[in-house]
Chain A
Amino acid sequence: MVTIILNGEKKEIESEVTLDRLLDLFSLPKQRVAVERNKEVVRKSEWPSTPIRESDVIEVIHFVGGG
């Protein structure tokens, strides 16, 4: 297992998981969202090849109402 911070929350997930799989595990949307891993944007095309490692900080954003 590895421990990561996902959208500010500490989460334990199985090892050898890709970013794409991580979104599936948490039932997160994949359309019109963006993902940051350790403060760097990860392009959508790279999600399947991006491994999640111990202590990674992941941010998944979408859009809400605002001014």
Chain B
Amino acid sequence: MVSRFDLAGKTFGSRLIIGTGKYRSFDEMKAAHRASGAEMVTVAVNRVPLDRKTESFLDHLDPAMQILPNTAGCYDAEHAIRTARLAREALETDWIKLEVIGDPVTLLPDNEQTLEAARVLVKEGFIVLPYFSDDLIMAKKLLDAGCPAVMPLAAPIGSGMGVQNPSNLRIMREQLPDATIIVDAGVGVPSDAAIAMELGADAILMNTAIAEAGDAEQMATAMKLAVEAGRLAYLSGRMPKRLYASASSPIAGAIK
């Protein structure tokens, strides 16, 4: 089954993981989640507001979904570790999307702090899925630290720029054939998702590309199809690129 995705002892029926931020309404989010076929969604950890009543955001998620809390908004290992511990306590899950940001303008990851946090959290029994820059050496270090997968960015968070450095992804795939690689952040349109999957990504995590689409539900369907198409293409093996033409019809035997 092309969509079957095994990760850290669990099997998912989709290679698309999606976020829960930026939707215009809960109904729109739920419709998009359904259409995407995703079986895992990310959520963020945040202070409970003191000045108003809040309803539980989690009530708006399909209970069948695996919830993946993130450490978004953390700028150093210590904050990310504390956030992960809080998320585990509240959700009774060891799964954590580790995100340590290096600066507020680009939201690019701080790889050094990410690695430091990953080492601590793995020792504490967390299933650490780290967001990081698309760098092979960093991927190796995160895997050595005990992360069951690595999550390189395609482009900055929420940028919709698509895979900015396909060579890095391809190198990572070729050099780490057994690693689980989840492209996280930067996908804008289905073709971006397809490219990432064609390059050998095992799964894709996205939020803004669906949530900010004019029709989020329809875009979620498009992303689902793109991820499946890209996966099938990767498994099929693409034709080689050539600088010059290669005729599809026989040249010999054409009438003169």
B48 near A41: Cβ-Cβ < 8 Å:
no
A59 within 8 A of B: yes
> Please, how many residues of chain A have a CB less than 8 angstroms from a CB on the other chain?
27
B19 near A41: Cβ-Cβ < 8 Å:
no
Q: Which residues of B contact A7 (CB under 8 A)?
A: 47-50
B54 near A29: Cβ-Cβ < 8 Å:
yes
Q: Which residues of A contact B21 (CB under 8 A)?
A: 64-67
> Please, how many residues of chain B have a CB less than 8 angstroms from a CB on the other chain?
39
Residues A63 and B46 in contact in the complex (CB < 8 Å), given A29-B54, A29-B56, A36-B82: yes
Q: Which residues of A contact B69 (CB under 8 A)?
A: 63
Residues A67 and B50 in contact in the complex (CB < 8 Å), given A36-B86, A59-B86, A62-B56: no
Q: Which residues of B contact A67 (CB under 8 A)?
A: 19-22, 42, 44, 70, 72, 157-158, 185, 205-208
Q: Which residues of A contact B42 (CB under 8 A)?
A: 66-67
Among B35-52, those with CB < 8 Å from A are 42-50
Q: Which residues of B contact A61 (CB under 8 A)?
A: 45-48, 83, 86-87, 90
Q: Which residues of B contact A39 (CB under 8 A)?
A: 82
A64 to B20, CA, bound (A): 8
Q: Which residues of A contact B20 (CB under 8 A)?
A: 65-67
A6 to B213, CA, bound (A): 37
B44 near A33: Cβ-Cβ < 8 Å:
no
A64 near B50: Cβ-Cβ < 8 Å:
no
B47 near A28: Cβ-Cβ < 8 Å:
no
A34 near B89: Cβ-Cβ < 8 Å:
yes
A43 to B70, CA, bound (A): 20
Residues A63 and B50 in contact in the complex (CB < 8 Å), given A34-B90, A36-B86: no
B208 near A29: Cβ-Cβ < 8 Å:
no
Among A5-32, those with CB < 8 Å from B are 6-9, 26-29, 31-32
> Considering only CB atoms, which chain A residue lies closest to B184 in the complex?
A67
**Which of A9, A59, A65 is the one whose CB lies under 8 Å from B43?**
A65
A60 within 8 A of B: yes
**Which of A63, A64, A65, A66 is the one whose CB lies under 8 Å from B91?**
A63
B244 within 8 A of A: no
B208 near A32: Cβ-Cβ < 8 Å:
no
> Considering only CB atoms, which chain B residue lies closest to A31 in the complex?
B56
> Considering only CB atoms, which chain A residue lies closest to B59 in the complex?
A32
**Which of B43, B49, B86 is the one whose CB lies under 8 Å from A34?**
B86
**Which of A26, A62, A65 is the one whose CB lies under 8 Å from B90?**
A62
B interface vs A, CB < 8 Å? Answer: 19-23, 29, 42-50, 53-54, 56-58, 67, 69-70, 72, 82-83, 85-87, 89-91, 157-158, 185, 205-208
Beyond contacts A63-B67, A66-B70: 17 other A-B pairs, Cβ-Cβ < 8 A, are: A7-B47, A7-B50, A29-B56, A33-B90, A34-B90, A36-B85, A41-B89, A44-B89, A61-B90, A62-B46, A62-B56, A63-B90, A65-B22, A65-B43, A66-B20, A66-B42, A67-B20
List the 6 closest A-B pairs by CB distance, nearest first. Answer: A66-B44, A67-B207, A67-B19, A34-B90, A34-B89, A65-B21
